[in-house]
Structure 1
C-alpha cells in the first residue's frame, strides 16, 4: 500500500511541476506556445488558462492528500 501511494505521489509531483511551468507569468510562459497567448492579450485571461488553474488546484489537492497518507503510513 505504501509503495502504491508513493508512486502516485511522485506522479502528482511531476504533473504539478509541469502544470506550473505551463502557466503564463508576466513574460507569457509556456502556455502561449500552446495557443494561450493571443487571446490573453485581448481579454485578460483565456479559458485555457482558467482550466489550467483549476486542474492545477486539483493536482495540488491530490498531492497534499497523498503526502498526508504517506505520513501516516510511514
Structure 2
C-alpha cells in the first residue's frame, strides 16, 4: 500500500514541478513559448493561464493528500 502511494506521490511531484514551470512569470516563462501569451483579455490573464492555475491547485491538493497518507501509513 505504501509503495503505491509513494509511486503516485512521485508522479504528483513531477507534475507539480512541470506545472509551476509552465506558469508565466514576469519574464513570460515557458508558457509564452507554447502560445500562452496569445489571446489575453483586458485583465491581462488568459483562459489558458486560469485553467493551468486550477489544474495546479488540484495537483497540489492530491500531493498533500498523498503526503498525509504516507505519514499515516508509513
TM range (shorter): over 0.9
Q: What's the CA shift for 1:34?
A: 1.4
Which runs of 5 or more structure 2 residues have no equivalent in the other structure? none
> What residue in structure 1 maps to residue 53 of structure 2?
53
Give the superposition deviation at 1:39: 2.6
Residue in structure 1 matched with residue 10 of structure 2 by the alignment: 10
TM-score by length of 2: 0.93
- Give distance in 2, aligned partners of 1:61 and 1:38: 29
Q: Distance in 2 between matches of 1:8 and 1:23?
A: 23
Larger fraction in helix? 1
1:37 CA displacement: 1.0
Aligned-pair Cα RMSD in Å: 1.0
Stretches (4+) displaced over 4 A? none
